[in-house]
Structure 1
Amino acid sequence: MLIIPAIDMINGECVRLSKGDYSSKKVYEKNPLLQAQKFEDIGLTHLHLVDLDGAKCGSVQNWKVIETLCSKTKLKIDFGGGVKTTKELELLFELGVDKVTCGSIAVKNKDLVLDWLSIYKDKLILGADCQNYLIKTSGWLEANELEVTSFVKDYFNKGFKYCISTDIAQDGMMKGPSFALYNKLQQAVPNMLLIASGGISCFSDLLQLKAKNLYGTIVGKAYYEGVLSLEEMGRLNNAC
């Protein structure tokens, strides 16, 4: 199981939110490159990079940070947040982003996403963030009536291989991940390469997720609040 550290950006700074609430923003590092280099130096190989400005307004905003992280590190970056056009998608890959997460756009413009999938295939990740098992979009500000397992299964059947899923009620709360959500998704779509996100509270949570044979786990606030150390994250990642 990959340990994937997260950098969420607002105004070019590394921040974290609680339950997706933008008013709960806390800045942890003004220079995302310095933070990314810490992850790289400990031996982590992947980075989950989210443009919260882009997720909220519907178009990618933090282009300079993206370009800097791609050019100044060797981390395999999966990016999400506001990707709505083919031009944006192409530019992200040109800059060196490894994968792009399709979240809101997968709900709002399925035909476009399937066109992208026919071209980019495994370079795309399905984003399936939910509350009470219902998908939420646009920086988690818009609710939908789409049930998460049906949503993921449909896109898996269309060819998506990877999925990041967050239980919004757990995100940033450090009260433990939503094991029930991941059990539900694994039962519905056992061959999907699932990446857990949200709620990590301790090293034991990572061990339990690893035992479920998930593809990866994203670590955010637990690291930034000092609950998990870089050394612990690096050690478990290297043991996987």
Structure 2
Amino acid sequence: MIEIIPAIDLIDGRCVRLSQGDYGKQRVYDVSPVDMARRYAEAGVKRLHLVDLDGAKASHPCNLASLREIASLGLPDVEWGGGIKSREHLEEVFAAGAGHAIIGSLAVKNPELFEAWLEEFGGDKIILGADLRDGKVSVSGWLEDSSLSIHDLMERFLPHGLKEVIVTDISKDGMLQGPSTELYVELSRRYPDVIFTVSGGISSMDDIRELDRRGLQRVIVGKAIYENRISLDQLKEFNS
């Protein structure tokens, strides 16, 4: 069965959601990240997806206090993305309680360092984050577009132990219009030894059931939960 990974996006220590990665189109939710994480834990969630949007823009982690508080709740796993640009940043994130570090911009801009981290920490700890706009990978909090495709990254990093990739279709993110299912099915068929996490566009449990039917293994859900299109009771039922 597909694993649901709820997302908490952080700006100034608050829960927010962007639409299509636009910082100018953000909605702040009146719930603390720690309270939200506690609700997810009570619903049986095994992995939580935390994104430091401040860190993505500032090029260093900015919301580690929230990570420490959330990690103290005892969730089995917390994955963290945003602002990891150096070995020091990576160690700070792990020390604050993250079980996985998601690396996006650095993998594009400094692939040699990303390869070294994959080999040192392993593909069980280091996740590639690939955010796609019109087929190309975007970096720096989705503010810059590169010339690289997801396949360019896959072919480069597979020999170095890559095991997990979160692929976000920016055009779908926060829009509640359904995911780019065929993209993930094609990637999973082409790279069967890699776990691809679906990210962007989930609007209902029907979307998730269809992804499950198509054989996808993990899906990130954010706005659909905040907007009450997917309930915590449904998460609890799904995880039971």
In structure 2, what is the equivalent of residue 211 of structure 1?
213
Deviation per CA, 1:174-225, whole angstroms, max 9, x where unpaired? 0000012212312321221111011001111001111222221000001111
Deviation for aligned residue 1:30: 4.4
Deviates more, 1:14-23 or 1:229-238: 229-238
CA contact (8 A) 1:149 1:188 kept: no
In 2: Cα distance, 1:154 partner to 1:213 partner = 25
Contact 2:138–2:145 under 8 Å retained in 1: yes
**Alpha-carbon separation, structure 2, partners of 1:30 and 1:235:** 23
Instruction: Provide the rounded CA distance (Å) in 1 between the counterparts of 2:194 and 2:30.
Output: 34
Quickly say closer, same or farther: Cα 1:29–1:76, change in 2 above 3 A.
farther
Query: 2 CA distance for matches of 1:96 and 1:85?
Result: 17
Deviations for 1:22-61, whole angstroms, at most 9, x for unmatched residues? 0111111342100100000111111000000001121111
Give distance in 2, aligned partners of 1:26 and 1:67: 24
Match of 1:37 in 2: 38
- Inter-partner Cα distance in structure 1 for 2:219 and 2:116: 28
Deviation at 1:75, TM superposition (A): 4.1
- Further displaced range: 136-145 or 71-80: 71-80
Mapping 1:119-198, distance limit 5 Å: 119-121=120-122, 122-198=124-200
1:54 partnered with 2:37: no
Q: Which moved more, 1:202-211 or 1:163-172?
A: 202-211
Give me the whole-angstrom Cα distance separating, in 2, the residues matched to 1:153 and 1:228. Answer: 36
Unaligned runs of 5+ in 2: none
Query: Following TM superposition, by how much is the alpha carbon of 1:119 offset from its aligned partner in structure 2, in angstroms?
Result: 1.5
Cα distance, 1:115 vs structure 2? 1.3
Query: Counterpart of 2:133 in structure 1: which amino acid?
Result: Q
8 Å Cα contact 1:18/1:171 also seen in 2: yes
Alignment correspondent of 1:90: 91
Identical-pair percentage: 41
Q: Residue 17 of structure 1 contacts residue 24 of structure 1 at CA under 8 Å; is this kept in 2?
A: yes
For structure 1, which runs of at least 5 residues remain unmatched after alignment? none
Residues 36, 73 of structure 1: 8 Å contact kept: no
Distance 2:73 2:184 in 1: 34
After TM superposition, give the deviation of residue 85 of structure 1 in Å: 0.8
Letter in 2 for 1:17: L
Q: Which residue of 2 aligns with 1:113?
A: 114
Greater Cα shift, 133-142 or 90-99: 90-99
Residues 119-145 of structure 1: CA deviation (Å, up to 9, x unaligned): 110101111110111100111110011
Cα distance in 1 for residues equivalent to 2:112 and 2:38: 37
Q: Distance in 1 between matches of 2:11 and 2:38?
A: 19
CA distance in structure 1 between the partners assigned to 2:150 and 2:30 by the alignment: 33
- Matched position secondary structure for 2:146: strand
Query: Which residue is equivalent to 1:80?
Result: 81
Greater mean alpha carbon deviation, residues 112-121 or residues 15-24: 112-121
What's the CA shift for 1:151? 1.7
Aligned to 1:29, the other structure's residue is in SS state: coil
Counterparts of 2:152 and 2:183, CA distance in 1: 13
Range 205-214 or range 150-159, more displaced: 150-159
TM-score, normalisation: structure 1: 0.95
